[in-house]
Amino acid sequence: MQSYRAPHWLPGGNLQTIWPALWARRVDGAPPVYRRERWTTPDGDFVDVDRIDAADPAAPLLVLFHGLEGSSRSHYAEAFAAFAAARGWAFAVPHFRGCSGEINLAPRAYHSGDFEEIGWMLERCAAGRPPGAALLAAGVSLGGNALLRWAEEAGTTATRTVRAVAAVSAPVDLAAGGAAIGRGFNRLVYTRMFLSTMKPKALAKLAQHPGLFDRDALLAAGDLHAFDNVFTAPLHGFRDTDDYWGRGSAKPHLQAVRVPTLVVNALNDPFVPADSLPRPSEVGPHVTLWQPAHGGHVGFPLGLPPGHVRGMPERVGGWLAQHLPR
């Protein structure tokens, strides 16, 4: 993606974000068919994992962590699934709590810095695999930041679980991203879209656990900062939104990564400001930065109208494949 160029018919970060998610082709042929597993979490909750098995049990497994309010049916997930199938790899999308179509049970949800949950999911994915079978991981947007936080916290132990990781359009500076998505067009379109599903889920959580948070304050929340202040931060052990965004951001800790890591961000991403992205001097030797001028947020469309989104999984997946055993 470092050499990515957007098609001339789709100019600007917003079009390169919205069009791929809604209208671009994801796969050639039928959409992927998943096999769903339900895992019980250490705290007695559950997560749903959608999987595609490989013909060879020892084939590499690609684990994808989705973005905010995403799922295995997000455009990028289906494109990654097609990439993995074409390579003969197994593929898995562990859903963050509440994102698989059924509300989870515990008085918590998920968040951008949820590295402990990422670690548990990766260990569960690795369990039972044949000796030497490789595991690769990619994360998109929120899932990318959480995956990076895991790699940072795991340090030298990360290579016991994965061969390499990649983060696509991750908001590695959560405060900068939160401010950007809360302004102007972004607030009218993206913030409204996210809150339209996040608020009902939060209210369902309140019905499960009366008194968990202030209902009126949640209903009044007009941006992600206010929503996180009422819901996300206190439910996950943070003092407030600023504490959550500060401690959850991957950017300050990229020097600590000890596993091959790719970080992909378009410079015209509508809600990941270019000036918030890491510079080469701010990352360790195990981190590769791809920062193309165009691509939007998890867009990177290619081809003639309606275009397709296969290019990003192919290039990111190809980079991950370079780290498989020869």
Region label for 197, one of left (φ > 0), alpha (ψ between -120 and 50) or beta (otherwise): alpha
Asked if pLDDT for residue 231 goes beyond 80, the answer is: yes
pLDDT for 2 equals 75
What value does the mean pLDDT take over residues 146-153? 99
Any catalytic annotation for residue 297? yes
Would residue 1 count as lying in a domain? no
Would residue 7 count as lying in a domain? no
Would residue 326 count as lying in a domain? no
Q: How far apart are the first and last CA of the chain?
A: 24
Nearest to 75 by CA among 299, 315, 302: 299
Task: Verify that 181 and 160 share a domain, yes or no.
Answer: no
d(CA 164, CA 321): 9
Asked if pLDDT for residue 1 goes beyond 80, the answer is: no
| pLDDT, tens only, 84-105 | 999 999 999 999 999 999 999 9
pLDDT for 71 equals 98
Residue type, 73: R
Query: Domain range holding 166?
Result: 13-173+253-321
pLDDT for 3 equals 87
Would residue 3 count as lying in a domain? no
Task: Verify that 162 and 59 share a domain, yes or no.
Answer: yes
Nearest to 118 by CA among 78, 72, 170, 158: 158
Task: Verify that 109 and 120 share a domain, yes or no.
Answer: yes
Preceding omega of 285 cis (within 30 degrees of 0):
no
Nearest to 272 by CA among 172, 201, 197, 135: 172
Task: Verify that 81 and 167 share a domain, yes or no.
Answer: yes
Task: Verify that 136 and 73 share a domain, yes or no.
Answer: yes
| pLDDT, tens only, 102-117 | 999 999 999 999 999 9
Task: Verify that 280 and 186 share a domain, yes or no.
Answer: no
pLDDT for 49 equals 98
pLDDT band at 268 (very low <50, low <70, confident <90, very high): very high
pLDDT for 326 equals 82
Do strands 46-52 and 35-40 pair parallel, antiparallel, or not at all (unpaired)?
A: antiparallel
Task: Verify that 211 and 296 share a domain, yes or no.
Answer: no
Q: Are 158 and 186 in contact (CB under 8 A)?
A: no
Report in angstroms the alpha-carbon separations of 96 from 104, 119, 229, 240. Answer: 9, 13, 20, 21
Domain holding 59: CATH number?
3.40.50.1820
- Tokens linked to 254: 């990229």
DSSP 63: E
Preceding omega of 306 cis (within 30 degrees of 0):
yes
Task: Verify that 180 and 312 share a domain, yes or no.
Answer: no
Task: Verify that 129 and 222 share a domain, yes or no.
Answer: no
Would residue 8 count as lying in a domain? no
Query: Which one of the listed residues 50, 114, 223, 269 is annotated catalytic?
Result: 269
User: H or E element: which one contains 48?
Assistant: strand 46-52
Bridge partners (DSSP) listed for residue 166: 138, 262
Residue recorded with tokens 């390169």:
16
Query: Which one of the listed residues 95, 297, 308, 323 is annotated catalytic?
Result: 297
What value does the mean pLDDT take over residues 116-123? 98
| Residues recorded for the chain | 326
Binning the chain into helix, strand and coil, the percentages to the nearest 5 are 40, 15, 45
Do strands 287-290 and 35-40 pair parallel, antiparallel, or not at all (unpaired)?
A: unpaired
pLDDT band at 210 (very low <50, low <70, confident <90, very high): very high
Count other C-beta atoms under 10 Å from residue 95's C-beta. 23
Any catalytic annotation for residue 45? no
Any catalytic annotation for residue 141? yes
Task: Verify that 166 and 188 share a domain, yes or no.
Answer: no
Would residue 49 count as lying in a domain? yes
DSSP 11: -
Query: Which one of the listed residues 141, 169, 249, 276 is annotated catalytic?
Result: 141
Task: Verify that 75 and 224 share a domain, yes or no.
Answer: no
Count how many domains the chain has: 2
Residues 6+ apart with CB under 8 A from 208: 103, 105, 107
Would residue 6 count as lying in a domain? no
- Which sign, positive or negative, has the C-alpha torsion 321, 307, 170, 281? positive
pTM, whole model, 2 decimals? 0.98
